[in-house]
Amino acid sequence: MNKAVFLDRDGVINKIYIKDGLPFSPSSFKELEILPGVKESIILLKELNFICLLVTNQPDVSRGKIKMDEVVKMNNFIKNEIQLDEIFVCFHDDKDKCNCRKPQPGLLLEAAKKWNVDMTKSFMIGDRRKDIEAGLAAGCRTFFLDNNYKENPPNDSTFIVSSLLEATTFIKKKNI
């Protein structure tokens, strides 16, 4: 079986926009900006034999705030730019009560099945409580990337870091 790192998109891979202390996704391709250290992190994870899978909620599509083709354009750019293995997206809103929207583990479980992933050897890296809850529910260890949002942080993340590069360096150093 393979080991994987599941990555949230906004706030982990690309810059988010803060309004009143809360995070918001880029609203267009031209606002998309990959964060410093992300490319290096993916290279390092792949050297450590991790499959790198993006798992992202994008409810602004169902809310009518952004067109699906714009999100697909952003995701394709990210995938190619930083050499991700695959991207899994939930376009639903909370009211849809789907199994793929984090904090539900559906996206991670779908990706794990497709890529034959051993969840006990894998990680979820996210910047919100929903990401960490999804990772834990799927059975993997978690890194909470603390961006100091004005919302409740997770109570039970395995590790707390300030960047993706810090998380990947920790994984390498600890050989976990």
Residues designated as active site: 8, 10
- Residues in contact with 3: Cβ distance below 8 Å, sequence separation at least 6, in sequence order: 49, 50, 51, 117, 118, 121, 122
What is the SS3 assignment for 14?
A: strand
Tokens of 123: 């990680």
Angle between helices 106-115 and 129-138 (to 10 degrees): 50
Amino acid residing at 49: N
